[in-house]
Structures are given as C-alpha cells and as structure tokens.
A = this chain, B = another copy of it.
Amino acid sequence: MEITRKAGVAARSRPPLSKGRLLSAAVALADEGGVDALSMRNIAQALGVVPMALYKHVANKNELLDGMIDVLMDEIDPPAADTDWKTTVRRRVLSARGMLLRHPWAPAVIESRTKARTAPTPAVMRYLDSMIGIFRAGGFPVQLVHHALHVMGSRLLGFSQELFEDRAGTGEPDPDAMPPEEMAARYPHITELAMAVAHDPESVVGSGCDDQFEFEFALDLTLDGLERLLGRT
C-alpha cells in the first residue's frame, strides 16, 4: 500500500537525481535569479533534497559551475559545413550570442572558471578548436588565425562586454537616478550620445539602441578587417 520508499523517509517517489538533473536545476536557478542566487543549499531545496546529496554527483561547487558551462556550450549550433569561413564564423558566433542572451550570467562564470583553471572548460576548448579549424579551412595561415583570435577576443564567445546593461523597458524608475541636467553637466558627451541614439528614428526598439545590430556591426567590422588581412598574404 505504501509508496516504494527509498533512502530514508523524506524521499518518496522522486526521480533519482542524476548529474544531468542537478545541472539542469542549477542552470534554471541561475537563469531566474542570476549566479549569485545559486547556492548548493537552494539547488538542493529546488530538487527536494538535502544539500549534501549534491556532493554525490559533483565534487564541489566549482565542478558544478564547470558542468553548467558544458550544458550551455551544447546549446551552440555546430558549424555549417557548406559555406565560406566568414559566414560560418559569423553564424556560429551569433548562435553563441543567442545562447548567452538566454543565460546572461554565463560570461562571468565562463570567465571566472577559465581564470581559476589553467585552461578553459573542455567544452569551451572544443568550441575554440572548431573555431580555429574554420579559419584554417578558410585559408588562414596559423599566425593569422592567432591574430584573429586576439582581434575577436571575447566576441568569439558571443559576448563583448556591454557596459550599459539593457535595463530599459523594465519600467521601474531607478530611485537614485541622476537628474538630466546634472547628467549633462557631468558627462556631456555621454549625454549627447544618449540623446542622439534615443532619437534615432531607425532604432525605435525600447532601449534606443539595437544591441543585435550593434553586435553584428562590430562583428562584421572585425571580420572585414580580417578579410583584408587575409587578402594581403
């Protein structure tokens, strides 16, 4: 009559808590609360389990973060094989960017984990390797690929460190916002730019700055620069 109970009284008819379920729960929690709202304790709670249970599936929190990065990297589309290097790179980077827009906490985690290890996560390594492969297949000499990686920098991974987070559109009036006249007095050029961008009839998209357009603009400029370099060798 009783539900098949296993491992103590608290655990009744619960899916068996694999590493996959753990990572998914962690990613979900990070998606909704940012990476700061991610503790072993509340991941465990979300899974209906005691904190220490997680340690049967990951060695420690860092390993969990590494696992989460793996999950994210799997969301990036594989390279298309039937086009030139430029559009292949372009598509792939934009796919990576799409992933990162879904998981805004990812850049910080990737960065911090990369610095804490001697090398990036294996998943990131695979991504970079295949990226280099695309350049090589496109005729880039190795040295030029090397430069290309440095030129593209973090854009290779789909983010380029937007300084002003796209916080417009949430509608919440910032309590300690600076009055416009003080703003203009203190940072005249920023203000001028903000005004101009806001009134640009082309970009009536919320924040007044079409991030997607800007990203592609920058990406194309760097790719064009690389192409010119390639043509010169």
Contacts and interface: CB of A to CB of B under 8 A. Distances in A.
Interface of A: 108, 111-112, 114-115, 118-120, 122, 124-126, 128-130, 132-133, 136, 142-143, 145-147, 150-151, 153-155, 157, 160-165, 167, 174, 177, 186-190, 192-193, 196-197, 200, 209, 214-215, 217-218, 221-222, 224-226, 229
B118 A163 contact: no
A225 B161 CA distance: 20
B177 A145 contact: no
Contacts of A115: 108, 165
A143 B200 contact: yes
A189 to B, nearest CB: 4
Given A177-B118, A217-B151, A221-B225, A146 B111 contact: no
A22 B105 CA distance: 30
10 contacts: A120-B164, A125-B190, A129-B189, A129-B190, A136-B189, A143-B200, A147-B218, A150-B217, A151-B222, A161-B161
Contacts of A177: 118
A108 to B, nearest CB: 7
B209 A133 contact: no
Given A132-B193, A136-B189, A143-B200, A160 B150 contact: yes
A131 to B, nearest CB: 8
A193 B120 contact: no
Nearest to A195: B142
